[in-house]
Structure 1
Amino acid sequence: MPTKISPMTNYYIRKLYRQKDPYLSQVEDMGDDFSTFMDLEQVLKSLYSGGEIDLMIRQLDTLVQYHQGLTAQSFTPEPQLKEVEQRIFAILGESQTPNQTASVPLPEPAVSPPQPTVTADALLQILNQLQESSTTFLGAAITTNYLQAARPQNDWFEQFQIQRSQPVTFSADSSESLDDQQKELAQKWVKGFVKSCSQVITKFPEIVDLSQLLGQL
């Protein structure tokens, strides 16, 4: 089954396009549906064949995560940000506009940026930050239930101890680094928990700055 652009990547890239082209923000201000105004998956289909599309989507995910990590730094290196943005736009055709589908030759495959090391302690801090914010609005019982329900069904994640009105703890060595699969599952845990909370507190993703948290994983 073909890979699909994740909602987070889709949202983030569209935000970069709005920053790049003020006209797109005007389109949204006029009430048009930006997701249909520019369908990123359709753009990729117009540029690449089947197997290439999956590769490009994976590269977009990696570049978006890298861009998020750069913007999360206390000092944002502007040249690096621009370079990553140019690579994202290049994958999507660079000069292509929402109503133009001219095919642009694919540049040499970009080398994926090195992924930052994520430890169990880093995930633990994010979970406790989310727990504290959620408890403020929803109470300890609901927060605990949501954390437990969203936790991945994986033996490694069972080492995170979740108790009502207590900080989340990790029963093993918290300096342990997460592998790629664990980082992916950790992101799903965070997104799943925030999604549950947002069913009650609609602004919860903005309250906790979900994109910034995911950029740490």
Structure 2
Amino acid sequence: MTLSILLLCCTGTAIIGALTGDSEPTKTGTAADQAQQPIVAASVEPTEETSTPAAAPTATPDALAPSATASPSPSDAAPAPVGKVTTETEQATIRYAEKTVKDSSLAEGKRVVRTKGVNGVRTLTYEVTTTDGVRTARKLVKSTVTKQPVTQVVAVGTKKPQSSKCDPNYSGCVPIASDVDCLPKRGDGPAYVSGPIRVIGSDIYDLDRDGDGTACD
């Protein structure tokens, strides 16, 4: 940097001193001999100071990491439900069926049990699921007939009632007629009966003539 100083004296003598790295000769003279030199102020260039911007704070890994909720320890977690599967059996009744058959030896409408019915038994097996001691499911897995039922047989009579042609006063069939005589023909009839005949009511046909209770003997 060069610094120049110009000094003017009242006598007109100018002394210019230059201060540089190299010395220069000093010139003297009158003001008329040389033109007045302007005063030049040395310009001093300001020193540029480079301002270094403050470094941004560096985020630490802990600051960048998102906050996370602490995981519960195994002792804090809820216990897993305890499931258990078992089997159960129960018995159910099988109702016996009934069958009817016709019987011509029985009076019409009469019913007689020929074979008595017996109920059967069915065994049911279930699969039962419990969770924490509480039943949550029940499923049928097997059904077996362990006792067969016996069908009941009922006979139903079909015999038509017939009007009696025998007099109810006698044991044995004595025809009902206007008159009855014993065989061999002991009278004029018109109906006849062979004995012996027991009289159980009134001897309306006078068949027991000796009165011993037996007619036509």
- Please indicate, yes or no, whether the TM-score normalized by the shorter chain is above 0.5: no
TM-score of Structure 1 vs Structure 2, range by shorter chain: under 0.3
| Greater relative CO, 1 or 2 (CA 8 Å, sep 6+) | 1
**Larger proportion of helix:** 1
Q: Which has the larger radius of gyration?
A: 2
Query: TM-score when scaled to structure 2?
Result: 0.13
With the length of structure 1 as denominator, give the TM-score of the two structures: 0.13
